[in-house]
């Protein structure tokens, strides 16, 4: 079986009905069976075929380079039982002090489950019975993520094998009646004995591939995927995954508000979400202007081409450059928006100054 390093996506075989298609990925000193689907809809179709008996559970992550490590263990190296208990007691006491007794549980496992599903770091990994939920959590932050690789990972694990092979090491907690949020996300929590990582207790990939797989999903049409998940008969979105929650309503509207977002520069508005049509640079009546400047939001220079203004990394932004060139007397005369495969937006802006005007050389700008 082929062995690859993380990031060699072109060498990963397709995830399809032939479950024997996989390679062995080496990442962070662990070896895992890996496959890929170029599109989210192909992945869901394959899963529907595979998961006829509904034995599989799913977990989506934004970054394929991350280990399968619970959030608390990423932040707190080798915590002991006393520290776990102190943290949990703090959470329980805070709930009481803030009048949130309905979220208080006597059982520690139940309390960690509540904590995790409301965003508190915990020693458990959250999984879902619904692959669409895992897909949603893998891609939901596509516009703000710093990870710009072409794929996001979704892990799939045969729950029946966990109960047979790993029952002494893995504790799955899936009480759907514990909380409405857990039920909405079809969630279950995975606790591993002695805070081990899943990667360290799996069998060799040539055995584990039959019940465990890391499937890379192409980021193409990410926004379309989110809209499709919401329009499904059983919709998946912030509003449905966080029921009776003000934070769910806020996060849902944050996504929907994006179509209204824009940035304004002295009577000129740049839409940063909707695709912008011409004027493009090659359609501008060049005989009317002089001193052209073309700005690319993805690759800005560090200095102004008209004066000695220089930006440091904290100041460097498309807005800063546009405002600075406006002070030079230039105006926006063309713009174009491009959307990459990962859903991020790139903006090209052309500025110029009329032939009957002169560039203002000496400007005092802190922008």
Task: Verify that 150 and 37 share a domain, yes or no.
Answer: yes
Query: What is residue 267's predicted lDDT score, i.e. its pLDDT?
Result: 45
Q: Do residues 65 and 192 share a domain? A: yes
Q: Based on the fold, state whether residues 54 and 143 are members of the same structural domain.
A: yes
Task: Report the pLDDT averaged over residues 111-138.
Answer: 91
Domain of residue 323, residue span: 289-365
Q: Decide if 66 is inside a domain.
A: yes
β-pair type (3-5, 170-173)? unpaired
In a domain, 116, yes or no: no
Same domain, 224 and 307: no
pLDDT of 210 strictly over 70: yes
Contact partners, residue 2, CB within 8 Å, separation at least 6: 11, 23, 24
* Statement to judge: residues 253 and 293 lie in one domain: no
pLDDT in tens, 288-327: 888 888 888 878 888 888 887 887 766 677 878 888 888 8
Same structural domain, 227 and 150: yes
The answer to whether residue 104 sits within a structural domain is: no
From 244, 261, 278, the end of a domain falls on 261
Q: Are residues 297 and 249 in the same domain?
A: no
- How many whole angstroms separate alpha carbon 109 and alpha carbon 190? 10
Specify whether 161 is located in the same domain as 208. Answer: yes
Exposure pattern of 204-238 as b/e (b: 16+ CB <10 Å)? ebeebbebbbbbbbbbbbbeebbebbbeeeeebbb
113 within some domain: no
Assigned domain for 313 exists: yes
- pLDDT, tens digit (0-9, with 9 covering 90-100), for 7-60: 999 999 999 877 889 999 999 899 999 999 999 999 999 999 888 778 999 999
Nearest to 349 by CA among 304, 301, 295: 295
Pairing mode of beta strands 345-354, 331-339: antiparallel
pLDDT value of position 298: 79
Q: Are residue 218 and residue 335 in the same domain, yes or no?
A: no
Count of domains forming the chain: 2
- Are 250 and 307 in the same domain? no
Of 242, 261, 280, the position where a domain reaches its end is: 261
**3-state secondary structure string across 295-354:** EECCCCCCECCCCCCECCCCCCCHHHHHHHHHHCCCEEEEEEEEECCCCCEEEEEEEEEE
Backbone conformation region of residue 162, classed left if phi is above 0, alpha if psi is from -120 to 50, else beta: alpha
Classify residue 129: in a domain, yes or no.
Answer: yes
* Window from 7-16, 63-72, 74-83, 263-272 with minimum mean pLDDT: 263-272
d(CA 122, CA 209): 28
Same domain, yes or no: 250 and 295: no
Report yes or no on 267 lying in a domain: no
Q: From the CA atom positions of the chain, what is the Rg in Å?
A: 25
In a domain, 238, yes or no: yes
Mean pLDDT comparison of 32-46, 174-188, 265-279, highest-scoring range: 32-46
Residue 131 shares a structural domain with residue 65: yes
Tell me how far CA of residue 193 lies from CA of 81, 121, 122, 169, 203, in angstroms.
12, 17, 14, 5, 16
């Amino acid at each position: 079986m082929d062995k690859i390093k993380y990031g060699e996506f072109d060498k990963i075989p397709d995830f399809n009905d032939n479950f024997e298609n996989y390679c062995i990925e080496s990442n962070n000193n662990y070896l895992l069976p890996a496959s890929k689907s170029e599109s989210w809809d192909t992945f869901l179709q394959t899963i529907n075929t595979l998961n006829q008996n509904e034995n599989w559970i799913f977990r989506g992550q934004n970054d394929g380079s991350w280990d399968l490590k619970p959030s608390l263990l990423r932040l707190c190296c080798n915590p002991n039982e006393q520290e776990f208990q102190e943290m949990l007691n703090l959470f329980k006491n805070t709930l009481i002090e803030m009048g949130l007794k309905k979220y208080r549980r006597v059982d520690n496992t139940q309390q960690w489950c509540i904590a995790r599903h409301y965003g508190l770091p915990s020693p458990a990994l959250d999984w879902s019975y619904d692959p669409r939920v895992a897909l949603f959590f893998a891609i939901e932050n596509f516009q703000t993520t710093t990870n710009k690789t072409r794929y996001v990972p979704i892990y799939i694990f045969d729950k029946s094998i966990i109960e047979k092979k790993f029952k002494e090491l893995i504790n799955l907690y899936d009480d759907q009646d514990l909380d409405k949020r857990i039920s909405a996300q079809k969630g279950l929590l995975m606790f591993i004995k002695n805070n081990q990582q899943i990667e360290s207790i799996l069998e060799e990939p040539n055995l584990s591939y039959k019940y465990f797989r890391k499937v890379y999903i192409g980021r193409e049409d990410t926004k379309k995927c989110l809209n499709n998940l919401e329009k499904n008969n059983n919709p998946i979105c912030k509003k449905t995954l966080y029921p009776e929650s003000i934070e769910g309503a806020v996060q849902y509207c944050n996504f929907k508000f994006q179509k209204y977002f824009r940035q304004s520069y002295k009577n000129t508005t740049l839409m940063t979400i909707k695709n912008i049509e011409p004027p493009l640079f090659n359609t501008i009546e060049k005989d009317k202007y002089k001193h052209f400047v073309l700005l690319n939001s993805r690759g800005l220079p560090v200095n102004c081409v008209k004066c000695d203004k220089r930006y440091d990394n904290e100041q460097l932004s498309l807005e800063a450059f546009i405002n600075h060139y406006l002070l030079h007397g230039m105006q926006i005369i063309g713009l174009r928006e491009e959307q990459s495969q990962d859903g991020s937006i790139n903006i090209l802006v052309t500025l110029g100054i009329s032939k009957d005007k002169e560039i203002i050389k000496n400007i005092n700008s802190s922008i």
